[in-house]
Amino acid sequence: MSKKVRTMKTTISNEQLTSAISAVRDRNPLIHNITNYVVMNNSANALLAIGASPVMAHWKDEMEEMTSIAGALVINIGTLDDQWIEGMIIAGMAASRRGTPIVLDPVGAGATSQRTATALKIINLCHPTIIRGNASEIMALVNAEIKSKGVDSIASSNDALDAAKILAKKSGAVVVISGETDYITNGNETHTVDGGSPIMTSVTGMGCTATALVGAFTAVVEDPMVAATAAMAVMSLAGERAALIAKGNGSMQLHFLDELYNLRAETL
């Protein structure tokens, strides 16, 4: 298999990135994930590897209490039903009242009108701190005519930057577009992260993992632009290093978690 890897570049400094990683490991924040069945294990292990503490809870009756002890709330709409949506909104509104950071992953927005509408409802009611998605998902939240290929993007991250800036200004959230280049924008300022490996697109849940890591960094870094950029840089660097020794997408997942766990200042 080709080992095509691009050198990681990011618009935050190594000092900011090192400080952010240290903050996650020192403070071990509890990250409340309402996420989909496909990625629960992946996301939980990634959070543990970077030094956070995951809880994967979606029962609506415990949302208020669970959210009250979390450092950040991650809402991922990958597997939806009425009960899950109700729980997401209860948790999101509770977190918003408390000032707890909220990260929304609008998985599959643009694939169906119901998904797009659900993501927009959560944005309007819960006011997420950060919205992270692929290009098609971000574009669909601005233009309902945009369609995605299930949970996969049919557009490049470059194509979605204008839509991301519009969404950021309209929602008040920092918007993150994952792709060959990751873009992080508040509508006025834009950060970028380059790097990673093409093999990452063959591992299920890598985008959802990125969202979970954004939650971990947002829990301990005050500036959501810096938090989101640090999380995407960590994804890129771990993916880049894992690809050098992975034999395929199966071992890529294993080595990716190891690289997250062993990430140190000197690696940067």
Residue 268 lies in a domain: no
| Count of domains for the chain | 1
pLDDT of residue 147: 58
**Whole-angstrom Cα distance, residue 140 to residue 111?**
9
Q: What percent of the chain has pLDDT over 90?
A: 75
> Which token pair is 29?
């924040």
Nearest residue to 256 (alpha-carbon basis) of 185, 197, 214, 211: 197
Q: Is 188 exposed, middle or buried (0-12, 13-18, 19+ CB in 10 A)?
A: exposed
**Whole-angstrom Cα distance, residue 182 to residue 136?**
14
Task: Please name the residues in contact with 178: beta carbons below 8 A apart, sequence gap of 6 or more.
Answer: 132, 133, 134, 135, 157, 207, 210, 232
Q: Stretch 14-37: mean pLDDT, rounded?
A: 95
Each residue's pLDDT tens digit, 37-46: 999 999 999 9
Each residue's pLDDT tens digit, 184-206: 999 999 999 998 788 788 888 89
Q: pTM higher than 0.95, yes or no?
A: no
Please say whether the dihedral angle defined by the alpha carbons of residues 109, 188, 92 and 134, taken in this order, is positive or negative. Answer: positive
Q: Pairing relation of β-strands 30-34 and 9-10?
A: unpaired
Q: Tell me the three state secondary structure of residue 174.
A: strand
pLDDT at 9 over 80: no
pLDDT at 229 over 60: yes
The domain spanning residue 139 has which CATH number? 3.40.1190.20
Q: Stretch 139-143: mean pLDDT, rounded?
A: 92
pLDDT of residue 246: 84
* Inter-CA distances, 64 with 5, 30, 67, 91, 125, Å: 43, 15, 5, 6, 15
Q: Pairing relation of β-strands 174-178 and 181-185?
A: antiparallel
Contact 185, 160 (CB under 8 A): no
Residue 95 lies in a domain: yes
Find which of 2-6, 104-108, 157-161 is predicted with most confidence, using mean pLDDT. 104-108
Contact 126, 163 (CB under 8 A): no
Secondary structure (DSSP) of 30-86: EEEEE--TTTHHHHHHHHHHHT-EEEE---GGGHHHHHHT-SEEEEE-SS--HHHHH
Domain that holds residue 155: 9-262
pLDDT of residue 158: 78
pLDDT of residue 248: 85
Residue 32 lies in a domain: yes
Residue 267 lies in a domain: no
pLDDT at 7 over 60: no
pLDDT of residue 146: 62
**Whole-angstrom Cα distance, residue 220 to residue 137?**
27
**pLDDT interval class at 156 (50, 70, 90):** low
Residue 105 lies in a domain: yes
In DSSP terms, 133 is beta-bridged to 177
Each residue's pLDDT tens digit, 61-104: 999 999 999 999 999 999 999 999 999 999 999 999 999 999 99
Each residue's pLDDT tens digit, 232-245: 999 999 999 988 99
pLDDT at 258 over 80: yes
pLDDT at 51 over 90: yes
Element (DSSP H or E) covering residue 181: strand 181-185
Biggest alpha carbon–alpha carbon distance for the chain: 49
Residue 1 lies in a domain: no
